[in-house]
Amino acid sequence: MTAGTDLDQALRVPVELGERSYDVWVGPGVRHRLAEVVPGGASRVAVVTQAAVADAGLTVDPGVEHRVFITDDGEHIKTLGAVEELCREFAQWGLTRRDAVVAVGGGAVTDLAGFTAAVYHRGIRMVYVATTLLGQIDASVGGKTGVNLPEGKNLVGAFWQPSAVLCDTEALDTLPPEEMRSGLGEMAKYHFIADAGLDSLPLVERIARCVAIKAEVVADDERESGRRAVLNYGHTLAHALEAHGGYDLRHGEAVAVGLVYAAELAHRAGRIDAHRVDEHRRVVSGYGLPTSLPADADAAGLVELFSRDKKAVGGVTFMLDGPHGIEAVTGLDPALMLETLEAIR
């Protein structure tokens, strides 16, 4: 991570993927420098954004002819119907394969616009302007795009790397507290994926460090065939809580509980000591996030949902901390999973 020159004092984080490499720029107001990172040769740019982002005044200027396409807010926008609608609007406007798409917003709009860019004309160039904490440290980096089906989340998608990412930390001031907490849950995860010393860093540097950690993992495993699974640390329980529903937890809050559960499970499996469990609780609670299972959670139902997690190819699989770091662990006794859930209630 180095201080930027073309983008003033923004922090630059390179994502090294050979000919698909790109830079992530982190800092206040970097969205105003969009024209500097729009892919060369693009004469038109389709700006896809969300209603709440537009209402907050988070506008961008790509420096070439552009048109703004506004979606609704929330996860429900991620449908194949929305992809078709955007593709048709792009075609009617005359967007060509030499042009580009810019997504401005959080993870839902980057997922939707990124997948649309991946399939329109069999792939056109893409830039992300991430305006939420969750989007900046997770959704906008790594090239995973996708939409949902009635049968499940992100079941249709593509790996499509952007040409550049702008993480505008100024935009975080517009977020409601619950949206900020959702990003903090993912930030807590990075404390354990790498010995990053995140606690001592100011927010902008902390975001850039999280991006750098993810960039290094993605560079090692772009297509999620192995090591990239560590980015799902804490997510097995989180996804089960989200799938079960009714617990009034945002994604990051569910991840926070999942991190504490994963630590307790690793301790009971003899992989880490009590001090390491306490460290998980300290980090999670330090972000003002929950550390306990909701009081009314159906523990048995959650254990049943573990088998539907996307990592569960050869049985229920957890990413667990241990002497060699976070690793995939299978073959855990369901009784131990249930007992550990009750222990964090």
Mean of the pLDDT values across residues 175-188?
Answer: 92
- Percentage of the chain beyond pLDDT 70 is 95
Q: What pLDDT is attached to residue 314?
A: 59
Please give the model's pTM, rounded to 2 decimal places: 0.90
Across residues 82-106, what is the average pLDDT? 97
- Catalytic residue positions, numbered: 122, 144, 186, 214, 224, 228, 232, 235, 239, 251
pLDDT score, position 3: 39
Q: The tokens of 342 are what?
A: 């009750």
Higher pLDDT, 196 or 297: 297
pLDDT at 313: 56
Q: End-to-end CA distance of the chain: give it in Å, rounded.
A: 40
The pLDDT of residue 196 is above 80: no
15-29, 113-127, 218-232: segment of lowest average pLDDT: 218-232
User: Which of residues 153 and 26 earns the better pLDDT score?
Assistant: 26
Query: Mean pLDDT in the chain?
Result: 91
pLDDT at residue 166 tops 50: yes
309 versus 328: the higher-pLDDT residue is: 328
Confidence tier at 248 by pLDDT (50, 70, 90): confident
Mean pLDDT of 312-327: 85
pLDDT at res. 221: 84
Query: 87-96 long-range contacts, Cβ below 8 Å, gap at least 24?
Result: 87/116, 87/119, 87/120, 90/46, 90/116, 90/120, 91/120, 93/44, 93/46, 93/67, 94/44, 95/44, 95/46, 95/120, 95/124, 96/44, 96/121, 96/124
Tell me: pLDDT of 4 over 50: no
Backbone angles phi and psi of 254, in degrees to 5: -65, -40
Mean pLDDT value across residues 234-252: 86
Q: Output 195 or 219, whichever has higher pLDDT.
A: 219
Could you tell me the sign of the dihedral formed by the alpha carbons of 302, 308, 312, 315, in that order?
positive
Q: What is the mean pLDDT of residues 178-204?
A: 90
Is residue 4 within 8 A of residue 27, CB to CB? The reply is yes
- pLDDT of amino acid 309: 63
Q: What integer pLDDT is reported at residue 310 of this predicted model?
A: 57
Overall average pLDDT of the 203-228 stretch: 90
Residue 296: which of 336, 338, 246 has the closest Cα?
246
